[in-house]
Structure 1
Amino acid sequence: MFDTLYARVKTLAQSRHAEASLAAVAFAESSFFPIPPDVLLAPMALAHPGKAWRFALVATLASVLGGVLGYAIGAALYDTLGQWLVNLYGYGAKMDALKATYAEWGWLVILVKGLTPIPFKLVTVTSGLLGYNFPLFVALSVLTRGARFFLVAGALNWFGDPVRDAMERNFAAVLAAFVAVTAAGFVIAVKVF
Structure 2
Amino acid sequence: MSYLRRLFEWIIEKAHSRYGVAILFIAAFFESVFSVFPFMLLFIPLIIANLDRAMFYGKVAAIGGILGATVGYFIGYFAWVDASGDYTAIARFFFDHLPGFSVAAYQSIQGLFDKWGALLVFAAGFVPIPFELVTISSGVFDVNFFFFILSVIVGRGGRYLLIAFLIWRFGAGVKVFIEKYFNWIALGVVASIVIGAVMFSMVL
* TM-score > 0.5, shorter chain as reference: yes
- Displacement of 1:13 in angstroms is 2.2
Give the distance between the partners of 2:101 and 2:64, measured in 1 at CA. 26
Cα displacement string for residues 22-65 of structure 1 (whole angstroms, at most 9, x for unaligned residues):
10001011001232432222112111122111111111111111
Using the alignment, how far apart are the partners of 1:90 and 1:60 within structure 2? 23
Equivalent pairs, count: 193
Distance 1:17 1:153, change over 3 A: same
Gaps in structure 1 of 5+ consecutive residues: none
Q: Distance in 2 between matches of 1:190 and 1:25?
A: 25
For 1:45 and 1:26, locate their aligned partners in 2 and report how far apart those are by CA, in whole Å: 14
Q: Contact 1:25/1:36 (CA < 8 Å) preserved in 2? A: no
In the aligned structure 1, how far is the partner of 2:95 from the partner of 2:111?
17
User: Sequence identity of aligned pairs in percent?
Assistant: 30
Query: Pairwise mapping of residues 99-138 of structure 1 onto structure 2 (< 5 A)?
Result: 99-138=110-149
Moved more, 164-173 or 66-75: 164-173
8 Å Cα contact 2:15/2:46 also seen in 1:
yes
Distance 1:72 1:162 in 2: 42
Question: RMSD between aligned alpha carbons?
Answer: 1.8
TM-score by length of 2: 0.86
Q: CA deviation at 1:95?
A: 4.4
- Supply the distance in 2 between the matched residues of 1:189 and 1:14 (Cα, whole angstroms): 37
The 1-side partners of 2:5 and 2:154 are apart by 36
User: 1:59–1:144: structure 2 CA closer, same or farther, 3 Å change rule?
Assistant: same
The one-letter code of the counterpart of 1:179 is V
1:179 aligned residue: 190
Match of 2:103 among 50, 72, 92: 92
